[in-house]
Structure 1
Amino acid sequence: MSDDGGQAVSLIAFIGSVFSPWYAWSGRREPQNHCCLNVVTTGLNGRFTMTDRGRGALGQSRDRLQIGPSSMHWTGQELVIEVNEWGAPPMVTPVRGRVVLTPRVMTGTEVWLTPDGAHLWRPFAPIADIEVTLSQGHSWRGHGYFDANFGTRALEADFSFWTWGRYPLRDRVMCFYDAELRDGRHFDLAVEIGGDGTVGRSEAPPRTRFARNPWLVRRETRADQGFRPRRKLSLLEAPFYSRSVVETRIDGETTVGMHEALDLTRFRSPLMKPLLAVRVPRRAGWP
């Protein structure tokens, strides 16, 4: 997110693209054959990219991830993301440029999101600086983070709904995971990361609902008693998903951070996959 709070970007590299209809239709047997770089930018010139690419587009080494014409490279001090994608319909235009993320702290924390460890979350660099230079006029500096999720089962096999949020405070960052599992259990996690990189569980303020997205996806996050969170910027609104910049209040401090809400009951609907195929084109071959 930019320092002035006016722009934001989200980039997710997938090996086994969990939201790809092509990966679901394949039976999810070969994740390396369904990889992509998802890029979302905000505003009137915002773009969304999510091309499902085949095995030939994937290149991996210790410090580099190549997905077709785009890549991520760890220099030892920075994560450099080279973007060379095309926007999804109806905005089919090039999305090109570079994002450089410089961690302020790094962690080795790993969190199990299910009791058997089938789904993991790793906040590698929860406090970082970013520099964005992308097409459509997105050129700014701000703050960000770098994390990763890993799983051995489809998300919709284990979860019905979840929300996640990452909120910077004066001297630390708070991350919240609130999930409803399909078996009726709940997973509620509040993680506090200090400016020195220390990580620990924390007491979370109450779960608080705020305005649904345009597709009526339920949205909630953590907020001090009596404070109603609100969306500041929208990155992606879908029938089963919302990613946005949200303002909330934690321990008396008003903060603006990244938030997502994911309705996996809706995502499981067989009607959702053909709709997604329009926005997630498949390019199996790559030279």
Structure 2
Amino acid sequence: MTERGEKRVRRDADHFAVGPSALSWDGDTLVIDIAEISAPLPYPVRGTVRVRPEMIGTTAFALDPEARHRWHPVAPRARVEVEMTHPDVRWSGDGYFDSNFGDEPLEAGFDDWHWARAHLKTDVAVLYEGRRRNGAPFDLALKFDRQGRWHDVAPPPRVVLPRTRWLVPRATRADPGSVPTVAKTWIDAPFYARSALDTRLFGESVRAVHESLSLGRFRSPVVQSMLPYRMPRAFW
């Protein structure tokens, strides 16, 4: 995740590249070629990720009344194959692919959000909620069927999760009477956490992927001063 200048960005209808890393679409698979150097310890990160959508979402959702921020669940359900050479890692399983985009930085529009996705027996459930910069709340609760069609559903009750080691607040939604637990936290950063939850949604026991993002923390000068050590900038 190296920040690079606009001269290192190339794109057309089926291909997008930033520096030596690139994404390409071969008709039924998104191929992600990774060629980076890690930070803060500089070791190579090389490999390929293949995302094969089982459904395609055609709708982008506005996250604010002016539609300055949009969220597009491109592939709510997919099969993913990871083949890394550095480090030597192989993995395959169920996955998901989405995109956030807009007309201003995320930290200009939001203070925080919580997001979760779970594969149900037939559908995919996605829960999205947060607080805009002006203090107004927003929330989405959606189900996607096998054809990628979506419909709104009533969000389950809100449940507060334990804070992270960096004390980032976390919350989710779960069926009444159930108690979600954090099975594992993959990323624990000063302003962001991504975790696996064991929970119950819409009558099914599921393993959900969950994230909490604190953009108030992200705006902090202290956090901003730490970012270059995790996301270096290359000016070539």
TM-score of the two chains, using structure 1 as the length reference? 0.79
The 8 Å contact of residues 60 and 72 in structure 2, kept in 1 or not, is answered as yes
Residue 107, structure 1, aligned to residue 57, structure 2 = yes
Is 1:156 aligned to 2:156, yes or no? no
SS in 2 for 1:224: coil
Contact 2:180 2:197 in 1 (8 A): yes
Partner of 2:193: 242
Q: Which runs of 5+ in 1 are unaligned?
A: 1-49
Residue in structure 1 matched with residue 21 of structure 2 by the alignment: 70
**Aligned runs of 1:1-287 on 2, under 5 Å?**
50-90=1-41, 92-134=42-84, 135-285=86-236
Please state whether the residue corresponding to 1:105 is helix, strand or coil.
coil
Q: Specify which structure has the higher proportion of strand.
A: 2
Question: Runs ≥4 in structure 1, deviation > 4 angstroms?
Answer: none
Listed one character per residue, the Cα deviations across residues 134-164 of structure 1 (whole Å, up to 9, x for unaligned) are 1323202101111111111121222111011
Indicate the percent of aligned positions where both proteins have the same amino acid.
41
The answer (yes or no) to whether the contact 1:132–1:138 under 8 Å persists in 2 is yes
- Mark the runs of 5 or more structure 2 residues left unpaired by the alignment: none
Provide the rounded CA distance (Å) in 2 between the counterparts of 1:146 and 1:248: 21
Contact persistence 1:53–1:68 (CA under 8 A): yes
SS in structure 2 at match of 1:271: helix
| Aligned-residue RMSD, C-alpha | 1.2
Aligned length: 235
Deviations 1:94-147 (A, max 9, x none): 111111111111121110000110000111111110111113232021011111
- Structure 1 Cα separation of the partners of residues 185 and 44 of structure 2: 21
Which residue pairs with 1:6 in the alignment? none
SS in 1 for 2:227: helix
Segment drifting more, 272-281 vs 117-126? 272-281
Does the 8 Å contact 2:56/2:147 carry over to 1?
no
Hey, what does 1:18 align to over in structure 2?
Answer: none
Aligned letter for 2:4? R
CA contact (8 A) 1:224 1:252 kept: yes
Cα contact 1:159–1:264 (8 A) shared by 2: yes
